Chains A and B, each alone.
Chain A
Amino acid sequence: MDITITVTDGVPIYRQIINQVKYLVASGLLLPGEELPAIRTLALQLKVTPNTIVKAYGDLETLGVVHKRRGSGTFVSEGRPQLAIRERRRVIEQRIDALPKRTS
């Protein structure tokens, strides 16, 4: 899953994950029924404490963006979430900031 974390803008990491998953779903880059990475996998990828992923996935479930299936994983729900303009701008800015690092 294409997520970028920054610790310089004062936004809690779990909130950055929530915003970016919402963005990926809202823009169709994650489709309904698609499975999100396991907690351990995403924690290893982002180099963050696993409890942050647990919290982000939990909040995304409360928001109705994803749902958990017993014994398996976390899946994208039907219906696209709406992002506030400020959140959308922040996600896009973060993705732009991350661009030079990926091409170099």
Chain B
Amino acid sequence: MGQTVVEVNDLSRSFGSKRALDGVTFHTMAGQVYGLVGANGAGKTTLLKHLLGLLRAATGSVRVFGLDPVRDPVGVLGRVGYLSEERDLPEWMRIDELMAYTQAFHPTWDASYARELIDTFGLDPSKKIKELSKGMRAQAGLVTAVAHRPELLILDEPSSGLDAVVRRDILDAIVRTVTDDGRTVIFSSHLLDEVERMSDHVTLIHQGRVALSGVLDDVRGSYQRSRLHFVEHLVQPPVLETAMVIEGGGRTWSVVHSGSLEQFRRAVVARGGEIVESRNATLEEIFMARAGRSRQVEAA
């Protein structure tokens, strides 16, 4: 740990009149898992495409392993594994042909690891990509993303639309990538439960900007959810300085708030109430507060 793998500084990008990324700074260290969350169209995929050199930085800079992925695609992509949401695989190829084809680009390809994964997933190597189910395509794509044992694994919405079995395969691949020699994983997901379990760091992108970024446990530790009880019936939600979301009515209110609990308690008491219960907020509650979305950050 301790080595910088990705360094994105002040990256901005527009598509036509739409601002896709706006001053994004995003750094990753080796041996860590980074969860990227945000609504559909928030800019997650655009950011990941810059890391892969598929988009050129218009403003700001992008470095992966200290290299510019646009100017040195071979130096970067040989050390990166990538699974896209679209899983754009060559339809006409058979699985074994896809493996041979991918291997040709990667001197570090571990053929026995690839075979082991194909076996574990129960894939038939003689099947054509176009004959595969959605889950099988994801599995085949996953093999091509990890079998060269990349130093950096990038997964863009890997779980999107997949059943529990294939989602488990993908999470297993993340765990294996990180435990084997401290490799780095960046994955975007709308499944906050998954992000909460699998990430060491979390970054929330909202309308092209980084709305929140940090060590997951620190992020969670800095927001609380409290239940409040007031002596008098309140017609309007109580005015509380550090409150981000207030729900409820009458004498009982539920609040997501940041900052010190003691300061919050004083504010509540000053309004004639008391804190009944307080706990760290969940990621979902924090993101709802910061990005104004509930349940999942985006619909599946």
Contact = CB atoms under 8 A, between A and B. Distances in A.
B172 interface: yes
B258 interface: no
A49 B197 contact: yes
Interface of B: 31-33, 168, 171-172, 174-176, 178-179, 192-193, 196-200, 217, 220-221, 225, 279-283
B178 A7 contact: no
**Which secondary structure dominates where chain B touches chain A?**
helix
Interface in A20-60: 39-40, 43-44, 46-52
B120 to A, nearest CB: 12
A47 B198 CA distance: 7
Nearest to B223: A10
Contacts of A10: 220, 225, 279-282
A3 interface: no
A17 B280 CA distance: 17
B200 A51 contact: yes
A9 B193 contact: no
Contact of B221 (A7, A12, A47): A12
Contact of A47 (B171, B176, B179, B217): B171
Given A7-B192, A10-B225, A47-B168, 14 more contacts: A7-B196, A7-B283, A10-B280, A13-B196, A14-B217, A40-B179, A43-B175, A47-B171, A48-B198, A49-B175, A49-B198, A50-B175, A50-B179, A51-B178
Nearest to A52: B200
Contacts of A5: 197
A62 interface: no
Most chain B Cβ neighbours within 10 Å, of A8, A10, A52 = A10
Given A5-B197, A13-B197, A40 B175 contact: yes
Contacts of A14: 217
A47 B283 CA distance: 17
Given A44-B175, A50-B179, A9 B279 contact: yes
Closest 9 CB pairs of A and B: A10-B280, A10-B279, A40-B179, A7-B196, A49-B33, A43-B175, A50-B179, A48-B197, A12-B217
Contacts of A9: 279
Nearest to B220: A12
Contacts of B196: 7, 13
A12 B217 CA distance: 6
